[in-house]
Structures are given as C-alpha cells and as structure tokens.
Structure 1
Amino acid sequence: MQPDLELVAVPSQGSFKMWSHGYPYRTVRWHFHPEYEIHLITSTTGKYFVGDYIGSFAPGNLVVVGSNLPHNWVSNVPPGEHVKERCLVLQFDREFIERAVKAFPEFKRVESLLDASRSGVVFSQQTGAAAEPIMREMLATQGLRRIALFIALLDLLVQSPEPTRLASASYCADPACYSGTRINHVLAYIGKNLSQELRETELAELSGQSVSAFSRYFRRHTGVPFVQYVNRLRIDLACQLLMAGELSVTEICYRVGFNNLSNFNRQFLLIKEMPPSRWRAWQQLNASSPAGSGEAEQASAAYG
C-alpha cells in the first residue's frame, strides 16, 4: 500500500510546527512528508507502523520519524468513540537544522539523531515522560521561549540513552515513487494552488476519474470530503497570516483562496469555533501577556 503525502504547513512566522490532535483524525493514515517529526503519544494504546516496522504503543511512546519515512499510529478506540487528544506532534525541515548548525556549532550533535531517524527511532518511556511538559508548553508559547523549548527538547533527545531503530536496514523510503501515485499528485497540486480556485471536477479530470469515483477515492485516502480538505488547508494558511498581523481579515480571505468574506468567516468559525478577528485578538493577547503590557488589555477589550 502506497503512503499518502501529508502537506505540513509550517507557520510563516515560525521555524517549526507544533500541534496536537485526537483520534480518529484526518491525518491518521499511512502517510509521509519531507519534514522530520517528533511524535509523542499522550493517550490510548495500539499499533504503530514506521517503514516496515510494526510495534505496540502506549502513552509515553516517543518516536522521531525521518524525512519521507512512511508512518502511522492506529489506536484501540471503539468505533464511534472520540479521543480529544491522542498525541503531540512537532514537525520541522532539514534546512532549519542546517541553518542552525551554521549559526551554532553546538547543533551539530543533532545531525546524528536526524541520520538515525531515517529508519525511525523510539525512545524510552522515561524520555517520553520528560519530553511531554516541554512539548506541551510549546503548544501555547510564542517568540524566543518557543525556540528555547525546541532546543531543550533536542538536548533531551541527544543526551538520552541511545534510542532503538525501528525500520530494518534494508528498508528504503522512496518519495519519488510515492509522489507518483494518483492521490499524491492531486494533493501536491492542491498544495501548490491553494490560493487559486479549485474545482473537484478539474481535480477528478487530473486524476483520470469521474467526479463520483474521485470523490470516493479522495475521501478514502484523506478521511474527509474534497471541499472540507481544501477549506481546512486554507484556514490553516489564514491563521498563519492572521498571526503575522500585516493583512486585514478581508485581504487574508482572498489571499487564501476564498471568493467571498461571508463564506470565509463561516468556514473559519466552523473549524476554529470563533471568528477570525477574535482568533487574531486571542493570539495578540497570548503574545503580549508575558510583558503585562497595555497592548494585552487592548487585545482583550477588542472582543470583550
């Protein structure tokens, strides 16, 4: 079974992506991405798959997955039940580390960890327990503190007892082969043209399928309908632009591919459970609160 491509949207105002998700979730499938991933299970048990490796996981399972290495975690959760948070996930690209090594020679120790992650590596439960508070704080932190926590996490990993490699030495990830599959060709096209008008009929034609067949095929591989998948990516991009603070909500609406403001507001509210203006105000409050400045009070007053 060929893995699906996951489009990782690293924030434009950040060096890496730190997030969490529950179970079931749309990204829980056999997939790959060019970015490195540090994956920590916080709840549930089940089976995980890294390359040609199959193992059992429980809370505290901490794995570093290398670039383009297929992976997936499948939890033992009864059908119909939902877990609010299953894991914490940190994703970053190789160029970020290479730039860091040039600026700070101390980062060179991280290269051996990334080299080992080509096969995927799992750390001890003790290391997983030590990593959780660091990763959890990263979820809500902005600015230099976020970088400090990233360095603390890497320092924890490189100083921990040697992790266990997962995929066999003979296993070789082949992103060129994966990307040639029909669904990954479609997903890559969506990622490159997110700000343009995207029609399901045109994507069906691109994949050589009828619209109905494409609709079923797309949902089977991504877990969500085509329109919902595109809207989520656009809202993720909108959040990056809202955090940057340089564009108005209306400008962002059209920049990310929506053709009218009311639909943008409706989709944003559906996915983020608040309007974009309020989401931006919360982020401003979060960024300014450590200093206790008047700006924090103004941000709070903006939405009552």
Structure 2
Amino acid sequence: MQCIYENLMFPPDQSFTIQSEILEDKPCNVLKSHKYFEIVLLENYCGRYFIGDHILDFEGTQLILLGSYLPHCWQYDKKLDPTAQSQSILVHFLPDFLGQQLLDSPEAIQLNKLFSNASKGISFSGITIPKAKKVMQEMLLSEGMARTALMLKLLDILAQSETKQALSSSYFNVVDNAHEGQKISKVYDYVFRNFSNHVSLPVVADILSMTPASFCRFFKMKTGRTLVDFIKEVRIGHATKLLLEDNYNISETSFLCGYNNYSNFNKQFKELTGLSPVIFQKQYRLKYKASSTQSRSNIPLSVRKKVLNDAPEIKASTRSVLRDMTASFQHDRTNIIGILVPTLDRSFFNSVVQGIETVLNKNDYSVLLYQSKESFDNEVLGVKTLIKSGVDGIISSIALQTSNYDHFTDLKKRNIPLLLFDRIVKEVCVPSVRIDDYRGGFSATEHLIKQGCKHIVHLSTDQDVPIFKERLRGYRDALSQYNLPVNEALIFYGSPSLDFGNQCIQNLIENNILFDGVFAFEDYTGLGVLKKLKEYKIKVPDQVKVIGFANETFGAHVATALSTIDQQTVKMGEVVAQLFLKLIKEEHYYRNIPEEIILDTILIARDSSQ
C-alpha cells in the first residue's frame, strides 16, 4: 500500500483546522502520513482501518487521535447505510499550537501524556465519544477565540478520558523523519500488496537498496519489530476479516492469507487473538452478520441533513416528500439532546438543566445548551442551530418575547421530538412538564391573607406568558374565595427585574395607595420590592409582607429572607428528561395525545411574610 505524505496548509489566521467531510465510497488504497496530529470522528460506515501496525475491522462511530507521521488509512468495505456517504469531522493541529509555554505548565501533565501516547494512535469509546462530538460540532459553528477555547476543551476531554486505548502495539515506534518514513512506507506498501504470497527478505531489503542484515537492523530500529512479526500481523488481521465475512472456510482463509501450513496458521492466529480460528469465528460471526445486515434507511445522510435544514438545492416538492421519510430516524443519530432556555441568569433554569443533564448523562446522552436571552429572534436561531448540530430532539422553555410559534410547530411537522417545560403554550401541542402555577399563585396570596393582609399588591408581566397569567388567576381567585375585593389599581404589569419591583413600590407610595402585602410573580422582582421598602423605611413584615415565586438561591440569604413558592426545579429537570427518554424510544413521537405532567408547588414561608 503506497504511503502519501501530506503537506497540510493552514490559513494564515488559524493555528489549527477543523473541517467536516463527506468521504468517498471507495476502498482506501494508500496510507497517509503528515506531521500534524489528527483527531478524527467517523460515522455511518464500517470497514477496516490501518493505523501503524494496527489493523482492525470496525463499524459505527469511531473517535481516534493520531500522532505525527503515524501512517493511517480507512478502508470502506461495508456501510451501515448502504446508500449513504460516510462522513467525518477532522481536526489537524500541532501540540504547541498555543505555544510551548502551555505544554510546560503543570496543568498540562495529562495533556502531554495524551500527546506522547498518540504516537501509537488512540481510540476512544463510551461517554467520551458523545462528549467530544458535541464539542467538535460546536467548533464547526465557532470562530476565533471561541473556537480555540473549544479546542482546549476537546483536548481536555480526550486527556481525561477513562475509555482510551492504544492502537499500535507497544513496540511500534513512529519514525520522526519524513524521509525515513517514506522508506518504511515502501516496505508497508510491498507487504500489503504481497502478504498472501511468500514475502522474501532479500526482495524487501532490495526495495531500499540495503543488504538483508542492514535492512533488518534498520526496520527493527525504526519500527521496534521484525519484518516477520509485521507480516504475521498483516496476515492475521486479514484472516479475521475473512472469517467474519464467512465466504471461505478456515483452510481456504489460511491459504488466502499466505499460509501453506494450517497448523502454523492456527498457532499464529491464537498467539495474536487469544482464540483459535474456529472459536473466533463462532463467537463473532453471528454478531458481525446481524449488524451488517440490519435494515437501514435508503436516504443518504447528506441528503437527510439538507432536508432537515431546508437546503435550497433540494426542490420544495422533493423536500416535502423526503421530510417524512427523513424524520422517522432522527432519533438514533447522535445521542445529543438540545436544550433551549430563555436565560441562565436565573437559578431556576440552571437547576432544571442540572436535573435534565444528570438523567440524560446516566442514559449515555449529552446535551447541547443554547440561551435565547428572552429574545424571539434568538429562540428561532437557537432552534435552527440545534437542528444543524444534529441533535436527536429539543427540550425548550419559551422566551418572554415569543408570541409566534411557527419554529416549534415546524419541528412537529418534521417529526423532530420537542418537549416544553415550565413556559408552555397551547398553540404548540407537544409533551410538556410544568408546575401548577395557578395553585402556586393561589397559595402565595392565601398565605398573605392568613398573615392578616387585606390590600395585596400583585406584580405580573405585560407579556403573553401563560404561566404568569395562571399565577395572576390564582391571585384573583384567592382574594375572591376570602371575600376580598380585586382592586385593579393593585395589579402592576412589567418585565421581571429589580427595577420593576422598585418602580411599583415607588408608584404606590407616591400615589398614596394603601397596601399591606406584595405578591411578586418572581423572586428578582420581589427582591426589588424589599430594597425599595427598605429605602422608604417601611418595616417588613410588620407593615408590609412580601412573597416571591421561584425560590431563587439568593432568597434565603438576603437581610430579610424572602418568602417564596418553590418549583421543585431539579425534580422538574429529572422528570423532563425521564419523559423525553420514554417518548423518544417510541417509533412515532407524536402519535399519541401529548402527555402533560404537572408538579406541585411548595410554599416556603420566611422572614419577609411572617
């Protein structure tokens, strides 16, 4: 097999490169080698890879790190999807791409070990693959320092991985000189082309214009092994492939791999694999055949992505036909779930995400997080970004500015799983998890009434968000049930913030409006109320009692601890993830009436109201 030494060119503004490729559907007949380290993520095909002296058949997702001048190639024999093109994400870099000073730091000990071991090639498995894949997908969408930061995160994931395995044998040493590497690759080339026949030492030595004795010393010094050992591993590697394919019996396999003596073949096969050819074939053939013949979609992966992303090169009429076909297998692509939240400035959403991520990680899923920052435009962009990143589905809470839900209903049309939590809307009829906001609003108001309040202010939002409307409805009904009038002058509308709480109290005081209790629709607004009351030297809770909603972390630690309604945030996240995992396993995510789970709220009475 001929070895091609690549001279990779980097753009002047980049110290490393990342690219996504669609790999050609043809056997690889050359070894590649270059001075750069390479991280490669391969998907949607099976075949054989050659890395150093390591030859292995594989299928499914592969994550591999290669060191400098390590000969390698991928040979595509079969595909998981017979009609789809294989795809890869490739990262090329030098270890000192950020300077030698970083590598000399004590924090880089594990990283240096990783780079050292990469000389023999490293494969990763388990949870490392989805973690690395998530970062690599983010890198494709990033630029500048953001991409560099992600690169460091990717390297740290690989360095800290507990599922890495060396590929080349312990005695394989990669040459550190491109010229000598070319010599070795000539030997590789000859052996790969002739291993089924007798390989003569004098002939191989003559390829490099050496005497047999000089060649043996050279080859052993540069590769750490003898020519005989290398030929043996190439032959046995090919034999494992033939035995798994089951096209030849064991005697025929031994002959096709260059063995004229069956007992010698049997002995060498067991030395390298730990099993006799008969036992090896019995143990692995059935599994190999089942995975190779598993039914797959007839739509190429590249076409699926274009359909999902509304690529203009696919006609609208064709896209509509393909979309239903494409959507049915979206759930098995990545094991990554997109989470779209309005903000991470509130501990509520942080805690929910924590609960979601804990459950998903235990089930071998990773998350890709996106903030809309309460913006409709950002929310639409977030949905598009997550879909382009290949997530299996989206878990979302709706932004305050959102009143048009086409981007969510479109996900349903594509049969892409969507689950809403906390802020849900009837217009988007999908599975959901929320708290009983009406009961929470009722309980907060009832608590103030039972503490003796008769003129209770409610701070709500001027935006069309159902959960806040439900809290307002609970407030109104509690007043009515306790025979207290609903005074519209005591209801204020605005955006959740400290300033909104400040302004409302200032308005009440300046207009001499009587009040003895305040129910804020969320805790930050409630904190603004407490601060303004303190400025006016109004005693809490003696003169005015205050309660918020959400149980933000700061509430228990301010000077006057804020009473609140707890939303069971971590539990909500766990329930969200459990429901999503249950539904995503079903063949048709939207077939049944959307399931809605409603969690109870918990009243937490603190100093501000009692």
Cα separation, partners in 2 of 1:98 and 1:24, compared to 1, 3 Å: same
Secondary structure of 2:97's match?
A: helix
Q: Does 1:178 align with 2:181?
A: yes
Question: In the TM superposition, what are the counterparts of 1:154-303 in structure 2 within 5 Å?
Answer: 154-174=155-175, 175-179=178-182
- State whether residues 66 and 120 of structure 1, in contact with CA within 8 Å, keep that contact through their aligned partners in structure 2: yes
Give the drift of 1:145.
1.0
Give the drift of 1:162.
4.8
Give the corresponding residue for 2:9.
Answer: 9
AA aligned to 1:144 is M
Question: In the TM superposition, what are the counterparts of 1:46-125 in structure 2 within 5 Å?
Answer: 46-77=47-78, 83-96=84-97, 98-99=99-100, 101=102, 105-125=106-126
AA aligned to 1:140 is L
Give the corresponding residue for 1:131.
Answer: 132
Give the corresponding residue for 2:192.
Answer: none
- State whether residues 61 and 125 of structure 1, in contact with CA within 8 Å, keep that contact through their aligned partners in structure 2: no
Give the corresponding residue for 2:424.
Answer: none
Secondary structure of 1:67's match?
A: coil
- State whether residues 60 and 129 of structure 1, in contact with CA within 8 Å, keep that contact through their aligned partners in structure 2: no
Larger radius of gyration: 2
Cα separation, partners in 2 of 1:123 and 1:155, compared to 1, 3 Å: same
Give the corresponding residue for 2:24.
Answer: 24
| Stretches of structure 2 lacking an aligned partner (at least 5 in a row) | 187-312, 314-376, 378-610
AA aligned to 2:15 is S
Task: For 2:2 and 2:180, locate their aligned partners in 1 and report how far apart those are by CA, in whole Å.
Answer: 9
Cα separation, partners in 2 of 1:26 and 1:68, compared to 1, 3 Å: farther
Task: For 1:182 and 1:58, locate their aligned partners in 2 and report how far apart those are by CA, in whole Å.
Answer: 26
Give the corresponding residue for 1:268.
Answer: none
AA aligned to 1:8 is L
In the TM superposition, what whole-angstrom CA distance separates every residue of 1:165-202 from its partner, at most 9, and x where no partner exists?
Answer: 1111222323322346999xxxxxxxxxxxxxxxxxxx
Range with bigger deviation, 115-124 or 37-46: 37-46
- How high is the TM-score relative to the length of structure 2? 0.28
Aligned residues: 183
Task: For 2:18 and 2:173, locate their aligned partners in 1 and report how far apart those are by CA, in whole Å.
Answer: 27
Task: For 2:185 and 2:136, locate their aligned partners in 1 and report how far apart those are by CA, in whole Å.
Answer: 35
| Stretches of structure 1 lacking an aligned partner (at least 5 in a row) | 184-272, 274-291, 293-304
Secondary structure of 1:148's match?
A: helix
Secondary structure of 2:41's match?
A: strand
Secondary structure of 1:96's match?
A: coil
- State whether residues 6 and 27 of structure 1, in contact with CA within 8 Å, keep that contact through their aligned partners in structure 2: no
Cα separation, partners in 2 of 1:7 and 1:142, compared to 1, 3 Å: same
Q: Does 1:153 align with 2:154?
A: yes
In the TM superposition, what whole-angstrom CA distance separates every residue of 1:43-91 from its partner, at most 9, and x where no partner exists?
Answer: 211111100101123333111101100011122358xx87555211111
Secondary structure of 1:64's match?
A: strand
Cα separation, partners in 2 of 1:82 and 1:178, compared to 1, 3 Å: farther
Task: For 1:143 and 1:27, locate their aligned partners in 2 and report how far apart those are by CA, in whole Å.
Answer: 36
Cα separation, partners in 2 of 1:105 and 1:129, compared to 1, 3 Å: same
AA aligned to 2:145 is L
Task: For 1:85 and 1:3, locate their aligned partners in 2 and report how far apart those are by CA, in whole Å.
Answer: 22
Task: For 2:27 and 2:148, locate their aligned partners in 1 and report how far apart those are by CA, in whole Å.
Answer: 26
Secondary structure of 1:113's match?
A: helix
Cα separation, partners in 2 of 1:179 and 1:42, compared to 1, 3 Å: same
Give the drift of 1:161.
0.4
AA aligned to 1:141 is S
- State whether residues 27 and 77 of structure 2, in contact with CA within 8 Å, keep that contact through their aligned partners in structure 1: no
In the TM superposition, what whole-angstrom CA distance separates every residue of 1:211-267 from its partner, at most 9, and x where no partner exists?
Answer: xxxxxxxxxxxxxxxxxxxxxxxxxxxxxxxxxxxxxxxxxxxxxxxxxxxxxxxxx
Secondary structure of 1:13's match?
A: coil
* Higher RCO, Cα 8 Å, sep 6+: 1
Task: For 1:27 and 1:103, locate their aligned partners in 2 and report how far apart those are by CA, in whole Å.
Answer: 41
Task: For 2:185 and 2:67, locate their aligned partners in 1 and report how far apart those are by CA, in whole Å.
Answer: 23
Give the corresponding residue for 1:282.
Answer: none
Range with bigger deviation, 131-140 or 172-181: 172-181
More helix by share: 1
Secondary structure of 1:76's match?
A: strand
Give the drift of 1:94.
3.0
- State whether residues 110 and 158 of structure 1, in contact with CA within 8 Å, keep that contact through their aligned partners in structure 2: yes
Cα separation, partners in 2 of 1:32 and 1:182, compared to 1, 3 Å: closer
Give the drift of 1:148.
1.4
In the TM superposition, what whole-angstrom CA distance separates every residue of 1:3-34 from its partner, at most 9, and x where no partner exists?
Answer: 21112122211120101212218995411000
Cα separation, partners in 2 of 1:6 and 1:86, compared to 1, 3 Å: same
Give the drift of 1:109.
2.5
Task: For 1:182 and 1:53, locate their aligned partners in 2 and report how far apart those are by CA, in whole Å.
Answer: 14
Secondary structure of 2:158's match?
A: helix
- State whether residues 127 and 160 of structure 1, in contact with CA within 8 Å, keep that contact through their aligned partners in structure 2: yes
Task: For 2:173 and 2:37, locate their aligned partners in 1 and report how far apart those are by CA, in whole Å.
Answer: 16
AA aligned to 2:37 is Y
Task: For 1:182 and 1:170, locate their aligned partners in 2 and report how far apart those are by CA, in whole Å.
Answer: 17
